[in-house]
A and B are shown apart, each in its own frame.
Chain A
Amino acid sequence: DGGITQSPKYLFRKEGQNVTLSCEQNLNHDAMYWYRQDPGQGLRLIYYSQIVNDFQKGDIAEGYSVSREKKESFPLTVTSAQKNPTAFYLCASSIVDQPQHFGDGTRLSIL
């Protein structure tokens, strides 16, 4: 079945460590996105990418980095510069001008 796979479902990080969240899609979508969701809040855009080897900052990019070396993959790295990384992270993909489809998310917690 086609879809978006995020792994792992739960992730723990020690203070000062970088951590990378995986997002893979087999929908042949050009665009991919990363959102962050805090408890009781809506989603906020971190980064998005319209094509391979290109990406743009969203509303809350500080402390995060991404890469888009392959169409199918858009990993997100939460760096030690992100002061409040505990959140629910959601990846999405779409083709141009069409609705975004989301993965089931990764819940990141700080130990």
Chain B
Amino acid sequence: DAKTTQPPSMDCAEGRAANLPCNHSTISGNEYVYWYRQIHSQGPQYIIHGLKNNETNEMASLIITEDRKSSTLILPHATLRDTAVYYCIVRVGRAGGTSYGKLTFGQGTILTVHP
């Protein structure tokens, strides 16, 4: 699975949009971009994923560049409860081989939302 690079930490004011970048310059054509977050002492929570088109759900939006080498997770109106570690993960979408199911978590970005 491709390696990702994220800034170690970011701050955001409550009510403003939080834009979390992720670099995945070695991504392959069959690899998806996944975003999870982890609040302290809890299990990771799935946020969103995409292949090449931009995606939006009730939690966030995912913007993937045309060359797919980077992406941005957008939390449109951040709240204090969005303070967490955010992980950007690239993995093969189809089952098979040793990559099946494996999520390779890096260090992630610590997002702090302040009043």
A67 at the interface (CB under 8 A from B): no
Q: In the complex, how many angstroms separate the beta carbon of A91 from the nearest chain B beta carbon?
A: 8
A103 at the interface (CB under 8 A from B): yes
Partner of A99, one of B34, B41, B42, B102: B34
Q: Binding site of A, secondary structure by majority: helix, strand, loop or mixed?
A: strand
Assuming the contacts A102-B45, A104-B42, asked whether A31 and B108 have C-beta atoms less than 8 A apart, the reply is no
Whether A45 and B103, one on each chain, are in contact in the complex, defined by CB atoms closer than 8 angstroms, is yes
Interchain pairs with CB closer than 8 A, number: 58
Whether A50 and B101, one on each chain, are in contact in the complex, defined by CB atoms closer than 8 angstroms, is yes
26 CB contacts below 8 A, A to B, read A31-B100, A35-B103, A41-B107, A42-B104, A42-B108, A43-B44, A45-B103, A48-B101, A48-B102, A50-B101, A56-B98, A56-B100, A59-B102, A90-B43, A90-B44, A92-B43, A94-B101, A96-B95, A97-B94, A97-B95, A99-B46, A100-B101, A102-B43, A103-B43, A105-B41, A105-B42
- Give the contact-size bracket for chain B: 20 to 34
A33 at the interface (CB under 8 A from B): yes
Q: In the complex, how many angstroms separate the beta carbon of A37 from the nearest chain B beta carbon?
A: 8
Could you tell me the distance between the alpha carbons of A110 and B100 in the complex, rounded to whole angstroms?
A: 32
Could you tell me the distance between the alpha carbons of A42 and B44 in the complex, rounded to whole angstroms?
A: 10
Could you tell me the distance between the alpha carbons of A88 and B43 in the complex, rounded to whole angstroms?
A: 10
Whose C-beta in chain B lies nearest to the C-beta of A99? B46
Whose C-beta in chain B lies nearest to the C-beta of A30? B95
Whose C-beta in chain A lies nearest to the C-beta of B42? A104
Whose C-beta in chain A lies nearest to the C-beta of B95? A96
Q: Binding site of B, secondary structure by majority: helix, strand, loop or mixed?
A: loop
* Residues of B that sit less than 8 Å from A by CB: 34, 41-46, 49, 87, 93-95, 98, 100-108
A58 at the interface (CB under 8 A from B): yes
Assuming the contacts A96-B95, A99-B49, asked whether A42 and B105 have C-beta atoms less than 8 A apart, the reply is yes
User: What residues of B have a CB within 8 angstroms of the CB of A103 in the complex?
Assistant: 43
User: What residues of A have a CB within 8 angstroms of the CB of B104 in the complex?
Assistant: 42
Whether B95 and A42, one on each chain, are in contact in the complex, defined by CB atoms closer than 8 angstroms, is no
